[in-house]
Amino acid sequence: MTEIDRQRRPGPRIEEVARLAGVSKSTVSRVINDEPYVSAKARDAVHTAITHLKYSPNQAARSLAGSKANAIALIVSEQSGRVLGDPFFAGVLRGVHAELTGRQIQLLLMLSQPEDHDDLVGYLASGHVDGALLVSLHGDDPLPRRLQEIGLPVVAGGRPLGSGSIPFVDSDNFTGGLDAARHLVSLGRTRIATVAGPRDMAAGLDRLSGWRRGLGEARLPADLVAEADFTPESGARAMSDLLDRAPDVDAVFVAADIIALGVLQVLHARGKRVPEDVAVVGFDDSLLASTATPPLTTVRQDVEQLGRTMTWRLLGELAGEDGLPPSLLLPTSLVRRASA
């Protein structure tokens, strides 16, 4: 039988800091929270006492007394947690983290499947976090609205589909798709297809719309559309389908680099040279793009910036700032490589 020794956490308490600094707990608290009405002398004394004792305030006590959590949640709403492997997610995560460092705010990572939404909402409702970042929303997921209803500030990464007005930050997917199409047109291609992303995500729809507009400008038919989710396999299937329907296809805009991987495989297998026979433009400018064969021309989106911006927006709201933009669109840019 192991005796689990229940004992107090080590380390000094605010009390000891106060004693060493020769002031009261209140004053120490004021210094820690950077409040006014503390003399320079007291402030210094407290600071030296803190560094001397290596004092670090107890987060739980702060949360309890201050009735705020000093933490935000990053909620990944995905069936299989597949997104986690996505460079997109990694970039967002890095951005969020970058924006959080220095502030005393922790990042709780929560994965949630629709079945678990009730639990999640209940959990978040009782004040465990001060706000939430939502990533990888599908379709008309009610989660963001439910979180808003319980009064939790929320910012989505990627435009949420469906009604309601959830603040979001997204890349300018429409312009990205448009640029891709224009680029292919400028190359003299005339049978331009697209492998679009899933219809239940704005990223899929908006990139498709941009592509449509681009072909429209050039008075080209926008009939060659296939759909894929964010896997190479589905991309392969989509490209096969496209080739069957239009053997003369000479260009394709693919809604994500990872999908383009499958597209390239099929093109290769079917004896089509890239870019000579078929030009390919991807989306994301992930690591995959530069290492693909041939290296992929792609639409770059700055996912890390997306993470930073989401966090900035959320923290702004938490700080009670006003004049915050409800939503933000981040620019994309075309990166030319060998495939188009």
Partner DNA sequence: TCGTGCCGTGAACGCGCTCTCACGGGCCTC
Partner DNA sequence: GAGGCCCGTGAGAGCGCGTTCACGGCACGA
Give the residues lining the site for a second copy (CB under 8 A). Answer: 2-4, 6-11, 54-61, 63-64, 67, 69, 74, 81, 84-87, 89-91, 93-94, 97-98, 106-111, 122-123, 125-128, 150-151, 232, 258, 261-262, 264-265, 268, 287-288, 290-291, 293, 319-322
Comparing CA positions, the residue from 311, 310, 207, 315 lying closest to residue 256 is 207
d(CA 260, CA 195): 8
What is the residue type of 122?
A: G
d(CA 200, CA 163): 13
- Give 41 or 199: the residue with its C-beta nearer to DNA: 41
Size of the site for DNA (CB under 7 A): 32
- Give 7 or 163: the residue with its C-beta nearer to a second copy: 7
Q: Does 79 bind DNA (CB under 7 A)?
A: no
Beta carbons of 104 and 66 less than 8 angstroms apart: no
- Rg of the chain taking only CA atoms, in angstroms: 25
Q: Which of 2, 3, 34, 36 binds DNA (CB under 7 A)?
A: 36
d(CA 66, CA 155): 23
* Residue 187, C-beta contacts closer than 8 angstroms, at least 6 positions apart: 251, 275, 279, 340
Length of the chain: 340
Q: Does 203 bind DNA (CB under 7 A)?
A: no
What is the residue type of 55?
A: Y
Comparing CA positions, the residue from 260, 259, 264 lying closest to residue 277 is 264
Q: Which of 20, 30, 250, 313 binds DNA (CB under 7 A)?
A: 30
79 touches, from DNA, a second copy, none (C-beta below 5 to 8 Å by class): none
- Give 9 or 219: the residue with its C-beta nearer to DNA: 9
Q: Does 37 bind DNA (CB under 7 A)?
A: yes
d(CA 76, CA 199): 19
Instruction: Identify which range of 60-68, 128-136, 261-269, 317-325 contacts DNA by CB under 7 A.
Output: 60-68
Q: Does 61 bind DNA (CB under 7 A)?
A: yes
Residues forming the site for DNA (CB under 7 A): 6, 8-9, 13-15, 22-30, 32-33, 36-39, 41-42, 55, 57-58, 61-62, 64-67
